[in-house]
Copies of this chain bind each other. A is one copy, B any other.
Amino acid sequence: MAPVINGKVIFNEVPTGYPEPGKTLIYQEETIDPNTITLAPGEWLVKVLVLSVDPYLRERMAAPSETYFDAFPLGAPIENFGVGLVLRSENPAFKPGDHVYGIMDFAHYAVCRDSVLAKGHVIDNTHKLSWSTYVGAAGMPGETAYYGWKEYARSKEGEIAFVSTGAGAVGSLVVQLAKRDGMKVIASAGSDDKVKYLREIGVDVAFNYKTTNTLEVLKKEGPVDVYWDNVGGPTLEAALETAANRGRIIVCGMISSYNGETPHVFKDLTVIMSKTLSINGFLVTDLEAKYMDEFRATMPKLLASDEISFREDLTRGLENSAEAILSVQKGTNTGKKVIIVADA
């Protein structure tokens, strides 16, 4: 293989609010020769095909002391879940030509290794899904929805679930898992288009939180047995206020506080006792050992057969990564955001 242009998305500066393309993140190119890149034992080199854009990335664009994940090092490429075509390998699990899921740099060519966020694994793709699906509904966001729901929802037929960011990559799957368990599902989203999508995937009570008061909806349609929280802040407060006795609150994300906003003040937490609530924050990696095999055996099939539907919002070109990342922080994406870096 001859020398090639390799683009990279570099973490240039810790943002105070929303990440700014060209400032927080910059795109750079260099020429590399894939044949001569040094691989340590256990590493493998890929041509990057797709990269996932997830809300939690904002949490890694922090000073090291301020985040629960490893902060991205300044001056180096950011990384996330992706699918790559193996070119060379010093890992016995992978050979050239394999399509491997794992953590990889935002680059055209990336040296990969197993990470605490994900161990690399070959995608057999029995069900002929697109590679982007494997960083979405069949990847980390799908695992997040599936693991968290199985572990904490304790769903019962006829009970009521409320899902915030219900049209998002994780939320839209949670909505469908709740429906499959026979629950009445309330879900919120930030545009009328997303609300329409919520109805298409079976949500019983769908509303636009920007034009409709969440607390009023929950008072009318609740009480809420299970609340899947992707946002925190006033939405969490409304769910606490309208929680059913023995309600479960699953805290998957709190995007309302990722971008430098003043933290929301909670008026009262006595409901935790008076309603004997269960509130669980979780990381998908903590539940992997328990549910991963089950997930990989069932989810791709459910997606391929349309029993569970999903929506993607694809951005073509690595150089557009920063804009894609910002859109997810602002909620202007319309489905699971994936960057298509190369077609094959």
Contacts and interface: CB of A to CB of B under 8 A. Distances in A.
Contacts of A286: 246, 276
Nearest to A68: B274
Interface in A261-282: 263-270, 272-282
Contact of A270 (B245, B252, B263, B278): B263
A273 B246 contact: no
29 contacts: A59-B274, A68-B245, A68-B274, A68-B275, A232-B273, A236-B269, A246-B286, A251-B272, A252-B273, A253-B273, A254-B270, A254-B273, A263-B267, A263-B268, A263-B269, A264-B269, A265-B266, A265-B267, A265-B268, A266-B269, A272-B279, A273-B281, A275-B281, A276-B286, A277-B279, A277-B281, A278-B278, A278-B279, A279-B280
A314 to B, nearest CB: 28
- Counted per complex, copies of this chain come to 2
Nearest to A261: B270
A257 B270 contact: yes
A265 to B, nearest CB: 5
A130 to B, nearest CB: 30
Interface residues of A, number: 33
A268 B253 CA distance: 14
Interface of A: 59, 67-68, 232, 236, 245-246, 251-254, 257, 263-270, 272-283, 286
A17 to B, nearest CB: 16
A279 B267 CA distance: 17
A268 B283 CA distance: 19
Contacts of A253: 273
Going nearest first, the 9 A-B pairs with the smallest beta carbon separation are A263-B268, A266-B266, A279-B279, A276-B281, A272-B281, A68-B274, A254-B273, A257-B270, A273-B281
Contacts of A283: 276
A264 B271 CA distance: 12
A202 to B, nearest CB: 27
A278 B277 contact: no
A278 B270 CA distance: 16
Nearest to A247: B281
A156 to B, nearest CB: 15
A69 to B, nearest CB: 9
B265 A265 contact: yes
Contacts of A254: 269-270, 272-273
Contacts of A245: 68
A254 B269 CA distance: 9
B68 A269 contact: no
Contact of A232 (B67, B264, B270): B270
A282 B274 CA distance: 9
